[in-house]
Chain A
Amino acid sequence: MDFGRTTVIRDLSFDIRRGETFGFLGSNGSGKTTTIRALLGIYQQTAGILHIDGRPFSPDAGERLGYLPEERGLYKKESVIDVMVYFGKLKGLGKEKARRWSHDYLERVGLADKEKLRLDKLSGGQQQKVQLGVTIMNDPELLILDEPTKGFDPVNRRLLMDIIDDQKKAGSTVMMVTHQMEEVERLCDRVILLKDGVSRAYGTVAEVQEQFGGTTVVVDHDGAIPASDAYTVVRDANGRAELEIADDADVSGILHDLVQGGLNISRFTPTRKSLDDIFVEVYGAENGELDR
């Protein structure tokens, strides 16, 4: 994907499997939103295409797609219910069905008494809820959410996550752009990490964790930890050490060797590097300062 002479996305290709939640990760300016816009034809892509079930995507082709963009907004001078019914009709719902669905949704998100108000009379968070409703009202098979929790307070964020969870249970495939690594670890089956328009990691969360730094072991101990090729002592203070395990080393063998070496061990916990740490590692080194 080029903008003038600048190439923003290069050789990017990935699959999202039916029913999974896919995390699309990257720092600000890494090309996530641009990729989505190009896939959906909002930007005219220099090359590339979005296939859904093997067919090129088109908004008129009848695929049930729900897209919650990063730049959000609806017709502010219109009433909540009118806007929801309009989008419902555009998405193929009948007028009455769209109206019923909207009533139920607004009831669920606590906006039932606001349905006749103009959108610009609602708070930012309330408008976001309406926008999410518009996004999912056609029961989408593919749900693309660009920073869905942006602008939500913790209570509404939980509500939003519940709604996304319900969609997933109902069989939706979810693609989520987010900076919230805890959400990714909790919700996503697979992820892709994008940096400067190029994929830096792609796979399940465990595979990505494996790819970036493998396993770390936290050891609570008395005595000195001996040096070994099987691990590197990252830190060791106040009786707690953190060992970074070498790629080809066996964690249980290390525990055996340490005990045999006479070390008194009260805790030995292998952990994987968190996505948060991986994110900092990938983007922090070059960006200097992260905007997350």
Chain B
Amino acid sequence: MKRHNLGTVVSFEFLRTITKGRFWIATLFVPVILIIVFLLVFVSNSSTSESAAAQKDARFSFEYTDASGLVEPAIVQNLGGKLASDDKTGIAAVKGGEMEAFFAYPADPSKQPILVYGADSGVFQNGKYSSVAESILTSSVEGRVDSPQYTAILQGKVSSTTTTFANGQVAGGFNAVVPALLFLAIFYIVILLLGNQMLNSTLEEKENRVTEMILTTINPTSLILGKVISLFMIGIVQMLVFALPTVLAYFFFRSQLNIPDFDLASFVFDPQQMIVGALILLGGFSLFTGTLVALGAVMPTAKDAGPIFGALMVLIFVPFYTITLIISDPNATIVQIFTYFPYSAPVTALLRNAFGTLPLWQAVIIIVELFVLAAIVLRIAVRLFRYGSIEYTNKVKIRDVLGRRSSTAAATSGQAVER
């Protein structure tokens, strides 16, 4: 295989994809949607807090009764309220339009609700009555606790850090799961976004009748390998584009967007988990790519390839139906089947690897299985492309292509030579 040809194919396939407007439209669609969602969340958060503050500070005429004895009259007076003689009178005043609101504080507000009555001022504005009623009670009680510390604790402003141990060592917990789960996310993104492109990469030669020109110019192995490598590079570009708005949002607009404050330094990068995850990702990607390339070589058009393509896509989602079992009972039969079945193995194994339920020996078997199968499928894909893509409008009979005697055997008999 001429190395410069492999490089030529990679750069041609890569550049012709990323210089297309439609690639960027498709790639930027997700981040644009993310940015729009972030903006909506930001606007919504701002308006919600503003409206809550406005409602808390809303001024309207009201009366109240207090069975609990907790309400501080001074606070009520500040807000323009006054004590009613009884509940009936207060409610009647609201009904009659003489008063805008009436609050009946129960004997035990921790167990009973505050009864709020108000003149209807629209669905969105009616919230001001309960906001003010609750705010009066909260402020009254806070005033009785003579300590900012107690007040903060009562307001729920507390946090905790958890340390767990496994085998005498500090266990990673959730912080160990997230980094390894990234491989699963990458696998999904790459397959979902590039699957169609993998399928079409060989169909294009067939549909455009380029096959004969290309096969007399370059070894099919170089061509297919070049396409696979360029697809991987395109996947990386897409992932970077997708990640950009999330990273920007995290670092610059975290509080505005209510994004949890992850302590990045606390993430646990277990070397074994990370290496296993990367290898399963690479093996799974190679297997799916090889299969889709082979499918493209066999089918006359993308439309004909659709049903099988759909079935392959379903296979990467099927393990999620058993996600609870995968996490809680990895030895369940169905989980074991999904772990070893090649087309469900990447997702299942990546999940188990992230949650720490994939022993090393199983990981080794799966990685070997994926790589060996990927090599076989890629070899078959090259063969199908070489001898199948010339059947421009016909569906290739796989048995015919694979059943032909090997060229090596033919060469031995002095008749044909494998390229």
Could you list which residues of chain A lie within 8 angstroms of chain B, going by C-beta atoms?
Answer: 4, 37, 40-49, 56, 58-60, 65, 67, 69, 71-78, 82, 86-87, 89-92, 131, 134-135
Nearest neighbor of B219 in chain A, beta-carbon distance: A60
* Apart from A40-B216, A71-B211: 17 A-B pairs, beta carbons within 8 A: A40-B215, A41-B419, A42-B212, A44-B416, A45-B416, A46-B410, A49-B417, A56-B417, A58-B219, A60-B219, A65-B216, A73-B209, A86-B12, A87-B217, A89-B8, A89-B12, A90-B217
Could you list which residues of chain B lie within 8 angstroms of chain A, going by C-beta atoms?
Answer: 1-2, 4-5, 8-9, 12, 16, 204, 208-213, 215-219, 222, 386-387, 390, 392, 400, 404, 407, 410, 415-417, 419
Per a CB cutoff under 8 Å, which of B2, B5, B219, B390 touches A37?
B390
What are 9 A-B pairs with beta-carbon distances under 8 A? A42-B211, A42-B216, A42-B386, A44-B404, A45-B415, A48-B416, A49-B416, A59-B217, A87-B217
Per a CB cutoff under 8 Å, which of B2, B209, B387 touches A72?
B209
Q: Which residues of A contact B387 (CB under 8 A)?
A: 43-44
Q: Which residues of B contact A134 (CB under 8 A)?
A: 213
Per a CB cutoff under 8 Å, which of B219, B392, B419 touches A71?
B392
B16 adjacent to A78 (CB under 8 Å): yes
Nearest neighbor of B9 in chain A, beta-carbon distance: A90
Q: Which residues of A contact B404 (CB under 8 A)?
A: 44
Q: Which of B8, B216, B387, B419 has the most CB of A within 10 A?
A: B216
A67 adjacent to B416 (CB under 8 Å): no
B16 adjacent to A69 (CB under 8 Å): no
B212 adjacent to A90 (CB under 8 Å): no
Nearest neighbor of A45 in chain B, beta-carbon distance: B416
What is the CA–CA distance of A87 and B218 in the complex, to the nearest angstrom? 9
A47 adjacent to B415 (CB under 8 Å): yes
B419 adjacent to A59 (CB under 8 Å): yes
Per a CB cutoff under 8 Å, which of A37, A43, A56, A74 touches B210?
A74
B214 CB to nearest A CB, Å: 8
Nearest neighbor of B22 in chain A, beta-carbon distance: A77
What is the CA–CA distance of A59 and B222 in the complex, to the nearest angstrom? 11
Nearest neighbor of B416 in chain A, beta-carbon distance: A45
A236 CB to nearest B CB, Å: 51
Q: If A43-B387, A44-B407, A59-B219 touch, does A71 touch B212 (CB 8 Å cutoff)?
A: yes
B105 CB to nearest A CB, Å: 73
Per a CB cutoff under 8 Å, which of B204, B216, B218, B400 touches A67?
B216
